[in-house]
Amino acid sequence: MLSLNLRFILILAIAAFCASSQLAAHAADEPVLELVLPNQQQKLARNNLLRHPEIRTITIDDDPVYHRSMTYRAIPLKAIVRQVSAIDTLQVVATDGFVANIRGELLRAEAEPWIAIEPANAPWPERKPGSGSAGAFYLVWLHPEKAGITSEQWPFQIASLRNVEALTVRYPQLLPKLAATDTRYASVQRGLPLFTTHCASCHRMNGGGDAAIGPDLNLPANPTEYFQESWLRKLIRDPASVRHWAQSSVPGFSEKTLNEDELDDLLAYLQQMAQQRH
């Protein structure tokens, strides 16, 4: 009799445990946007954001992730971030380890950043087969041309938004050290922000940086040392024209994103960094 009762209690306990863990699993599936910002530490659930009073339907004509016109449910960033004026650098961390550092003044310029939110019942298309969509949270710009916003400044699959100091303040080993009288000085100086905007979202330099999706571009060796320059240029413009495999994730930088002069400056910066390895 006792053993029957015990068995019954055990079954009930197991049933209750299964039900509660299913609930927990369900809650864990619900995407959350974490904010670590001035006077604002929050975790915002997708469902709540989709009911935000300032949510709108917006159209992005030339979406850099989908390469076509896209329509999203989205909220202006300034309706989510309480003190945009207090942001030094907005660090946007994606679930795959991509990290964009966006200067605060770009958020305040006329480019108009919005957070697009992927509804559970109306999922966005996959970016490419097997790679998932850009959701649940994707930073889009209504007028990117007004502040020179580049394709690396459209982070998708966002996990968190943080206020941080600029990358070069946190990692001074990114700074080139050469005399202002050096003939390469101006070019190298122009190359630094090109590196932090286009490359540092995936690569470190001298061990410094937020992301490590691709290799460090100076440690143990610098690609300007082990690639012939013409091949390195090809690799940056169109990686698949040099080597190709399914899992490769380095993007190509066309002349639209990085013109020839800018590529010269970026290479000047990389060459300089090879001289000052940490």
Which positions lie near ligand HEC, rule CB under 6 A? 98, 152, 198-199, 201-203, 213-215, 223, 235-236, 239, 248-251, 253
What are the structure tokens assigned to 3, written together?
Answer: 């053993």
Nearest distance from residue 271's CB to ligand HEC, in Å?
12
242 class by beta-carbon count within 10 Å (0-12 exposed, 13-18 middle, 19+ buried) = middle
Closer Cβ to ligand HEC, 124 or 253, answer by number: 253
163 vs 201 by CB, closer to ligand HEC: 201
Q: Looking at beta carbons only, is 109 or 242 nearer to ligand HEC? A: 242
Among residues 186, 173, 201, 140, which one has the least CA distance to residue 273?
173
> 127: which residues sit within 8 A by CB, 6+ positions away?
65, 66, 133, 134, 156
The least CB distance from residue 159 to ligand HEC, in Å, is 16
Report residue 33 as tokens.
């946007």
Nearer to ligand HEC, 75 or 168 (CB): 168
Closest CB to ligand HEC among 118 and 152? 152
In Å, what is the CA distance from 182 to each residue of 100, 123, 160, 248, 261? 31, 53, 41, 37, 18
Least distance to ligand HEC, CB of residue 209, Å: 11
CB of 150 to ligand HEC, least distance (A): 10
Least Å distance, CB 251 to ligand HEC, is 5
